[in-house]
Amino acid sequence: MSLDKRARALGQWLVLGSLVGLVCGVASAIFLFLLEEATRWRTRHEVLVYFLPLAGLVLGALYGRWGASIRGGNNLVIDTVHEGGERLPARMAPMALLGTVLTHLFGGSAGREGTAVQMGASLADAVAHRLQVSPTTRRELLAAGIAGGFGSVFGTPIAGTVFGLEVVSVGRLNYEALVPALVAALVGDFVTRSLGIHHTAYPAVSPLALSPGVMGKWLVFGAAVAAVAVVFVEGVHFLKKRMEKAVPSLALRMALGGALLVVLWKAVGTSDYLGLGLPLIERAFVDPTLPPETFALKLLFTLLTLGTGLLGGEVTPLFVVGAALGNLLARPLGLPLELAAGVGLAALFGAAANTPLALSLMAVELLGAGVLPHVLIVTVTAYLLTGQRGIYPAQRIARLKH
Amino acid sequence: MSLDKRARALGQWLVLGSLVGLVCGVASAIFLFLLEEATRWRTRHEVLVYFLPLAGLVLGALYGRWGASIRGGNNLVIDTVHEGGERLPARMAPMALLGTVLTHLFGGSAGREGTAVQMGASLADAVAHRLQVSPTTRRELLAAGIAGGFGSVFGTPIAGTVFGLEVVSVGRLNYEALVPALVAALVGDFVTRSLGIHHTAYPAVSPLALSPGVMGKWLVFGAAVAAVAVVFVEGVHFLKKRMEKAVPSLALRMALGGALLVVLWKAVGTSDYLGLGLPLIERAFVDPTLPPETFALKLLFTLLTLGTGLLGGEVTPLFVVGAALGNLLARPLGLPLELAAGVGLAALFGAAANTPLALSLMAVELLGAGVLPHVLIVTVTAYLLTGQRGIYPAQRIARLKH
């Protein structure tokens, strides 16, 4: 490849990647703004939570009527990266956004990366379609859309870049889309921040010297993370399948999900487990008196939310579950509270999504370099122990894990 | 894969990876100890440098007599990972060690990762041979040996892990050997440190907010890094080929290399460019009056050392060249001196070796999280612009870069 060709390749990716990053960044900013408003409204007017079943009914009806082509969500995106095929529906972006914001407005426990990835990928596909690019370029722009969406919604462009490459397959990272993914994630993040969005600030964790003893502790920690990841992954898949059989109507299913969440909410007597759960993460880093059942309850709320078809991603609730699990394990294992919470936060989603590198880098971006190498040990251990399962069944198995 | 099988896979890798890490760590500690002694001796008795031609003659005679089977160096290791084939010669470890230490004792400008990788891989292959493991397991242990050698010699286990996976192919990262590589790198690093080795401490760089202006500066920076990487890679290959034709005797070639270095040393009138050059790195981070030709001179010394067959790796001299280049570019580009030096340090070897992720992680391990995302932008830009060339011709091209 001549220098001229390489320079042109760089130029092309700068333009196309920036374009994708721009639309991803704007979409993420709108999404995050609406999500914050919805969360603020719900915390001020908790009576809204009683309407979660009704919201589920309406959302289910909407999705039943217009959403058939996009129900695959992130799996549809991953399939399209691998197989090409039809253009991702333009409605994917607005419907994922609306569904997630409404789910949060009424107190569902869901995350943001699913929405961000679906918005980013469908917008990138619109760009690819509009510019009539080749199938290869389209595939790379889709990866850029995933990277741009993920990077901008969390304010972590490097994690977004690697996530865009890592999420499509298990056990292999292809560098084909490295440049467009990096450009889209950086531009997307810049655009989102420029539109006035502030991301959650986490405390920088202090480094801890690695000894065989500490490594042994992290192995135990990693096994616990793997167990919780398996419960979550299998739980969501099981619940989805059983609920689809038991309640074939999506609208009724989502309404039932909402009703179950209201019952659970009243039963536990706190609103801590509704929505993203960011305040719980903050507590997990500093509060040794965090109730030990915190991780299990957040897991249950999230399983019920996503397993019954309510909308949103997995990252932030799994951050809460992982951080709370780390908080719980810190004392018996004799690990610093903050570090254990930070490692748990990143490792659980990394294991559940089979993206150990992206989430280790995310931990570095959020918590500083002190989290290395601990987070990679735990994430890789949990990644190995969860086997070939994951929250995205569409992922191709490039390599067996053992 | 059942839980039992996965747990057994983890157990197997913990044992085998630790074993590889142990031998790598001990080898690195011996190597680093001798290297430090050699450097101390040379700086105290600079008259030793006049004997570099003689050292080249002796080393060349030794390698001509017993070294034919290991002259491939890192390329032989990479080929063996891909193709299997004969066991890496046991003599690889002691000969690479001796050759590198003597090269440094008499003032050659070379690095450490080549030696560490060859020691690690050949020791890992000895373990594989002794335990009569399967060809697949052998391949994974070789990757663990590379990771253990690299991670322990630089005190950067995460970079070592990713380097072990990334270096064998261009454009793809396979996770097959992820667990053994991580275990070997962590254990290797721990063993080396436990044996009393202290690694160079670099200053933590302060974070810098990313804006389109800063991104544009890093693109220019990346193009400069790519240009220097191309000069280095092509220069070494060209010099090696021409010298082999002009002076077929290895002993005479290495003696000639030594003589040229002595002439160059006297011509520049300073000993700064001999050996690893660690003091120059320190200066590059803080001294705005570092002479602009520093990077070019270190490049020239290193080209002459490695191009004439003298022994050692590339990392540390390229760290010097990259850091000095960053120092030079900091002022015209209006970038913080320390950050520019740090980014240049990691990016040049990352581009020359086609290992952008490993070197970005190395930057994080050495310089803190503030170096992200800048280092990845520069490393990826330079990686793209260098095309399919690299210091290790044995690397398989998994994906074209554009």
pLDDT at B2 over 80: no
CA–CA dist A13, A11 (Å, integer): 5
Q: Output phi, psi for A17, to 5 deg.
A: -60, -40
A354: left (phi over 0), alpha (psi -120 to 50) or beta: left
Contacts 24+ apart (CB under 8 A), B194-202: B194/B25, B195/B25, B195/B26, B195/B29, B195/B33, B196/B29, B197/B28, B197/B29, B197/B32, B197/B33, B197/B155, B199/B154, B199/B155, B200/B278, B200/B281, B202/B281, B202/B285, B202/B342, B202/B366, B202/B367
Closest residue to B6, CB basis, from A178, A357, A385 = A385
Contact state of A385 with B7 under an 8 Å Cβ cutoff: yes
| Percentage with pLDDT > 90 across chain A | 94
A187 and A288 fall within a common domain? no
CA–CA dist A5, A394 (Å, integer): 34
In a domain, A206, yes or no: no
In a domain, B45, yes or no: yes
In a domain, A207, yes or no: no
pLDDT at B209 over 90: yes
pLDDT at B350 over 60: yes
Chain B residue closest to A156 (CA)? B373
pLDDT at A225 over 80: yes
Closest residue to B173, CB basis, from A172, A377, A384 = A172
A148 and A96 fall within a common domain? yes
Q: Which residues of B touch A14 (CB under 8 A)?
A: 219
Length, in residues, of chain B: 402
B175 and B26 fall within a common domain? yes
Contact state of B215 with A7 under an 8 Å Cβ cutoff: no
Give me Rg for the CA atoms of chain B: 20
CA–CA dist A257, A49 (Å, integer): 12
Q: Beta partners for B172?
A: A174
Contact state of A10 with B157 under an 8 Å Cβ cutoff: no
pLDDT at A173 over 70: yes
Closest residue to B372, CB basis, from A179, A212, A365 = A365
A81 and A172 fall within a common domain? yes
| Percentage with pLDDT > 70 across chain A | 99
Closest residue to A179, CB basis, from B211, B361, B380 = B380
Contact state of A172 with B171 under an 8 Å Cβ cutoff: no
Query: What pLDDT was estimated at residue A181?
Result: 98
Query: What pLDDT was estimated at residue B153?
Result: 98
CB A371 within 8 A of CB A346: yes
Closest residue to B402, CB basis, from A5, A368, A398 = A5
Angle (CA) B139-B140-B141 rounded to 5° is 90
Strands A396-397, A169-170: pairing kind: parallel
Inter-chain Cβ pairs, chain A and chain B, closer than 8 A: 134
Helix and strand counts by DSSP (H, E) for chain B? 16, 3
How far away is chain B from the Cα of A137, in angstroms, using its nearest Cα? 10
pLDDT digits (tens, 9 = 90+) for A133-152: 999 999 999 999 999 999 99
User: pLDDT-based confidence at A24, cuts 50/70/90?
Assistant: very high
DSSP letter at B111? B
Token couple for B265? 């040393």
Peptide bond before residue B373 is cis, with ω within 30 degrees of 0: yes
Q: Beta partners for A169?
A: A396
pLDDT at A15 over 60: yes
A143 and A286 fall within a common domain? no
DSSP letter at A106? T
Which CATH number belongs to the domain containing residue B223 in this structure? 1.10.3080.10
How far away is chain B from the Cα of A357, in angstroms, using its nearest Cα? 10
pLDDT at A216 over 60: yes
B8 and B64 fall within a common domain? yes
CB B345 within 8 A of CB B328: no
Closest residue to B190, CB basis, from A9, A162, A212 = A212
In a domain, B150, yes or no: yes
pLDDT digits (tens, 9 = 90+) for B305-345: 999 999 999 999 999 999 999 999 999 999 999 999 999 99
User: pLDDT-based confidence at B5, cuts 50/70/90?
Assistant: confident
The total of structural domains in chain A comes to 2
A219 and A167 fall within a common domain? no
A168 and A218 fall within a common domain? no
Averaged over B344-349, what is the pLDDT? 98
Give me Rg for the CA atoms of chain A: 20
Contact state of B190 with A179 under an 8 Å Cβ cutoff: no
Q: Is B226 helix (H, G, I), strand (E, B) or coil?
A: helix
The residue among B161, B194, B227 that closes a domain is: B194
Return the beta strands (E) in B149-198 as ranges: 169-170, 172-174
CB B108 within 8 A of CB B83: no
Chain B residue closest to A183 (CA)? B377
pLDDT at A400 over 90: no
Q: Which residues of B touch A365 (CB under 8 A)?
A: 369, 372
How far away is chain A from the Cα of B92, in angstroms, using its nearest Cα? 29
In a domain, B14, yes or no: yes
Chain A residue closest to B170 (CA)? A175
Work out the number of other CB atoms within 10 angstroms of the CB of residue A25: 30
CB B257 within 8 A of CB B305: yes
Q: Beta partners for A142?
A: none
Higher per-residue confidence, A25 vs B401: A25
Name residue, tokens 């191009």. B307
The residue among B194, B225, B247 that closes a domain is: B194
How far away is chain B from the Cα of A326, in angstroms, using its nearest Cα? 22
In a domain, A201, yes or no: no
Q: Which residues of B touch A357 (CB under 8 A)?
A: 162, 357
Domain that holds residue A63: 3-194
Q: Output phi, psi for B170, to 5 deg.
A: -100, 120
B37 and B67 fall within a common domain? yes
CB A368 within 8 A of CB B173: no
In a domain, A152, yes or no: yes
Query: What pLDDT was estimated at residue A402?
Result: 60
pLDDT at B1 over 80: no
Residue A75 neighbours by CB under 8 Å, 6+ apart: A392, A393, A394
Handedness of CA A325, A327, A332, A334 (dihedral sign): positive
How far away is chain B from the Cα of A332, in angstroms, using its nearest Cα? 23
Chain B residue closest to A158 (CA)? B373
Chain A residue closest to B370 (CA)? A368
A140 and A240 fall within a common domain? no
The residue among A167, A194, A221 that closes a domain is: A194
Amino acid in position B98:
L
Contact state of B376 with A158 under an 8 Å Cβ cutoff: yes
Q: Which residues of B touch A182 (CB under 8 A)?
A: 376-377, 380
Q: What ranges in A308-373 are assigned the alpha helix state H?
A: 315-333, 337-352, 356-367
Chain B residue closest to A173 (CA)? B173
Averaged over B233-248, what is the pLDDT? 96
User: pLDDT-based confidence at B402, cuts 50/70/90?
Assistant: low
Distances (CA, A) of A348 to A345, A354, B224, B251: 6, 10, 40, 57
Q: Which residues of B touch A134 (CB under 8 A)?
A: none
CA–CA dist B160, B245 (Å, integer): 36
pLDDT at B99 over 90: yes
Token couple for A192? 């989102």
Length, in residues, of chain A: 402
Q: How far apart are the first and last CA of chain B?
A: 37
| Percentage with pLDDT > 90 across chain B | 94
Contact state of B174 with A399 under an 8 Å Cβ cutoff: yes
Angle (CA) B321-B156-B302 rounded to 5° is 25
In a domain, A199, yes or no: no
A221 and A149 fall within a common domain? no
Q: Which residues of A touch B10 (CB under 8 A)?
A: 381, 384-385
Q: Which residues of B touch A157 (CB under 8 A)?
A: 210, 373
Handedness of CA A19, A22, A28, A31 (dihedral sign): negative
Q: What is the ipTM of this complex?
A: 0.95
Closest residue to A190, CB basis, from B210, B376, B388 = B210
Averaged over A199-212, what is the pLDDT? 93
A248 and A177 fall within a common domain? no
Average of per-residue pLDDT values in chain B: 96
Q: Which residues of B298-336 are buried (b: 16+ CB within 10 A; e: fewer)?
A: bbbbbbbbbbbbbbbbbbbbbbbbbbbbbbbbbeebebb
